[in-house]
Structure formats: C-alpha cells, structure tokens
Amino acid sequence: MMKTFVLATENENKVSEFRLALKDTPFKIKSLKDLGLSLDVEEVGTTFEENAILKAKYISKFTKYPVIADDSGLELRALNGFPGINSHRFMEGSTYEEKGAALNEMLAPYSDKGARFVCAIALVGLNQFPDVFVGQVKGKLIEDATGEGGFGYDPFFYIPEKGKTMAELSPEEKNNLSHRAEAIKRFKEFLENL
C-alpha cells in the first residue's frame, strides 16, 4: 500500500533527494508546491531537531497527510559548530561561494579544518509525539570550491575516504553517504517497522 508524506520544504533539491532515496519503496513524497503551500515559519529552535519539528508541525496544520521536515547544516569543529543551524541564514543574500570563502577566512587561524554536515528529519502525524531521525557525515572544509553537483556548501565539503567533495559525488553516491541519506535511512527503517 502506497503511503504519502508531505515534505515541508521549498527547496526542490531536497525534494529530489528524498524522492530518489524513497523511489523503490511504497512511500511517496508530495512537495509543498504540489499542494500549493508555502513554508512560512520562523526557525527559532536552538537545534536542528527543534527546527525540523517546528516546520513539520506548521505544515501539518494544512494537510491530512503525515509531514516530514528536515533541518540541516554545516558545523565546523574549530568554530565550535558554527554556522550550524544558521548555515542557510549565514551571510543571507550572499552566494554559497561567498559564504564558503568567508568560512575559510574564519578558519584561517586554525589548523583544524574538520567539518560535518548534520541532518535532522522530523515526522509529525503518525504518532502522538514527533519522531526524529538524525544523520551526519564527517569531512573537512576546503578553500577551493570543487564539483558541479549538489547544492549549498557541497563544493567546499571534502570527504577524505572518497577523495571527493560532496559536489563531486554522483546523485547515487550522495544518496548512500550524505547526512540526509543517513537520516532518511533511519526514517525508512522506522517506517518499515510500523
């Protein structure tokens, strides 16, 4: 039996990643665009988990389907996790190339370039309380943007064991090892055990 979820995002790249990850399952994703909705919610949480729950709860008021929402971002070890939940809002209005250059400038005094992408997925509408699934991928920030794929900070995020940036991975590779892929995998395992 096909089960439909609404994905609370206006980012078409995220919609594509979720659809690709769930393509061989009985789970279908509807986007906000499909339903004529927009995500007009202030992300006032202090963690990725809190912001994902805020978004999912907000959209759940407008649909009968269960809602999933994610919040994700880049954390730099030497900067105590900055930009973290503010990854998207950091230098708002600037390109990600400009943002990546600014973060590299902030990291310049440190030898530690360690970074991680974190993703929290919240599911609202199946259980009494939200269910949350978290994934992460570790790497390091590099100075020169490399690769054409992905989006956001992907061209600056180097994964040593792959010898590539996130932006150099094929969609299939990315859907096997990214922070979102790991969180989606936990989400899928949860659904399969319902």
Tens digits of residue pLDDT in 61-88: 999 999 999 999 999 999 999 999 999 9
Cα separation, 193 vs 178, whole angstroms: 23
Q: Is 71 a catalytic residue?
A: yes
The CA-atom distances, in angstroms, between 113 and each of 81, 99, 107, 152, 181 are: 12, 16, 7, 18, 23
How many CA atoms are closer than 13 Å to the CA of 25, on its beta-carbon side? 19
For residue 124, report the phi and psi dihedrals to the nearest 5 degrees.
-125, 135
The domain total for the chain is: 1
* CATH number, domain with residue 86: 3.90.950.10
- Report the pLDDT value the prediction gives residue 171, as an integer from 0 to 100: 84
Lowest-pLDDT range, 20-24, 122-126, 165-169?
A: 20-24
H or E element in which residue 157 lies: strand 157-159
* Cβ atoms < 10 Å from Cβ of 136: 17
- Report the pLDDT value the prediction gives residue 2, as an integer from 0 to 100: 62
| Active-site choice (40, 70, 71, 144) | 71
Q: What is the reported pTM?
A: 0.91
Domain of 186?
Answer: 3-192
Lowest-pLDDT range, 2-16, 48-62, 120-134, 144-158?
A: 2-16
Question: How confident is the model over 37-45, as a mean pLDDT?
Answer: 88
Lowest-pLDDT range, 66-70, 87-91, 154-158, 189-193?
A: 189-193
